[in-house]
Amino acid sequence: MYQKRPARGRLARLRIDTPPCDYLNSVLNELRVNPEKLRIIKSNCEYYKTQVYLKRGFLLAIERIEWVLALDNDIHRICNQISANDYIGNRIRLYPLLFKGVVTAHE
């Protein structure tokens, strides 16, 4: 009789699975080839943390990627965590600006 309405609001948005896009795939491939580019991601996090007006979700993504980077130095585990289909992976993939400069056009 009644149709079930889809969930709305914040929880519904967080349940959306964000598959890795082409850009993030190229970032992950570049990180596997050149693991020293992790410092670009770390410097991006430091830069964006100094910004005054950031969305709370972006700050959470910065915090999550800092957790991932602080946990381990193994590049394959870091790439697996970024591409994982869990809360942390989804949160990080929502903000590809964190990976700015890892893949450059002249390479």
Q: Where along the chain do its domains lie?
A: 18-99
3-state SS, the chain, equals CCCCCCCCCHHHHHCCCCCCCHHHHHHHHHHHHCHHHHHHHHHHHHHHHCCCCCCHHHHHHHHHHHHHHHHCCCHHHHHHHHHCCCHHHHHHHCCHHHHCCCCCCCC
- Write out pLDDT tens, residues 35-94: 999 999 999 999 999 998 889 999 999 999 999 999 888 899 999 999 999 999 999 999
